[in-house]
Structure 1
Amino acid sequence: MGIEQHLVIAGRLCSRGLPAEDGGPDGMSGPGHRTAELASSHGLNTTDALTRARWQKRLHEDAEALAALLSARWGEPYHLGLQTTLLRTESEEIPQPWARLSHLAAHAWLWECREHGHWLVLAVADRDPADEIRLLLTATETDPP
């Protein structure tokens, strides 16, 4: 999927209504949030560290390129370090999708889609070395923690 397709998905995520109920066992959507997986390393969790590092670099570069295009549409993003959010999940209730994102990614870009009352969140899920690396785009009505 190319970057143009990612922009189409971003527009749809921001303009569509968000689910009122849990969207299934994968945790990709739920009350007030929906996540699209834009790219994945597909089977990378069983390969060597060098291949993983290459995919990680590639998806971070893709995220940077997409962030630049999203910024042209919605303005400069907020940058959110998710490490503190991850630590807070141990002692307090962090709302979804933020709790899940903090377990998946170290940081995220956020844009406020004011016309629809949503936040658009771009992140690279690469925190778990035993899991796939994924480029994620989330729309949520829940303010960042």
Structure 2
Amino acid sequence: MTTARHLATIDSLRARPFPARPERSGPVDSGPGFHVGELATSEEFWEDDGTRRVLVEEQYEAERDALAALLTPRWGPPEELSLWSVLERSMDGEEMPEPWSTLSCHTPNLWLWRTDGRWTGLGVSQWDKELPFQLLAVVT
């Protein structure tokens, strides 16, 4: 996907109303108060020695950084939010709200902007070392 399409997807997610119940529509998971959209998804890594996986991770982080550079003039510099404490708290049995509970399982951190009453974020996700990387946009 192109950067222009990623920006259009982010703008579309920001404009959408939040549904009353969790739902999935194509590459977007939504629920009360949130949307999480897959901007890009890599291939899986079942037959990889780790080298290609590292290169793809770096590529996805570079794509996130490029999008952040384009969003910063709009909204200012992002805040970086580590989701480690959310994961740790949920593993200790604390109930965490969505999308934070699920995101913390596969996205180590988000770059967040607060604008127009909503948080908008970008993150790089990977559920497990054999599974694909994803570039995610989050709106809450």
Same structural fold, with TM-score higher than 0.5 when normalized by the shorter chain: yes
Aligned length: 137
The alignment status of 1:28 with 2:41, answered yes or no, reads no
Match of 1:46, SS? coil
Cα 1:122–1:135 shift into 2, 3 Å? same
The answer for the alignment partner of 1:13 in structure 2 is 13
Q: CA separation in 2, counterparts of 1:10 and 1:132?
A: 21
Amino acid at match of 2:108: A
Query: Which residue of the partner structure matches residue 103 of structure 1?
Result: 105
Structure 2 unaligned blocks of 5 or more:
none
Larger strand proportion of the pair:
2
Deviation at 1:52, TM superposition (A): 1.0
Distance apart, 1:126 and its partner CA: 2.6
Q: Where does structure 1 lack aligned partners over 5 or more consecutive residues?
A: 141-145
How far apart, in 1, do the equivalents of 2:77 and 2:28 lie? 28
How far did 1:45 drift? 3.0
Sort the Cα spacing of 1:69 and 1:33 in 2 relative to 1 into closer, same or farther, 3 A: same
Match of 2:47 in 1: 47
Measured after TM superposition, the shift of residue 24 of structure 1 is: 3.9
Show the counterpart of 1:73: 74
The change in CA–CA distance for 1:24 and 1:39 in structure 2 (over 3 A counts) is: closer
CA distance in 2, matches of 1:131, 1:100: 16
Q: CA RMSD in A?
A: 1.8
Aligned counterpart, 2:60:
59
- Asked if the contact 1:79/1:107 (under 8 Å) is kept, the reply is yes
User: Alignment partner of 2:64: what SS?
Assistant: helix
User: Structure 1 residues 6 and 27, CA, compared in 2 at 3 Å: closer, same or farther?
Assistant: closer
Aligned to 1:28, the other structure's residue is in SS state: strand
Q: What secondary structure is seen at the aligned counterpart in 1 of 2:40?
A: strand
Distance of 2:122 and 2:24 partners within structure 1: 21
Aligned-pair identity (%)? 36
Q: Distance in 2 between matches of 1:24 and 1:15?
A: 17
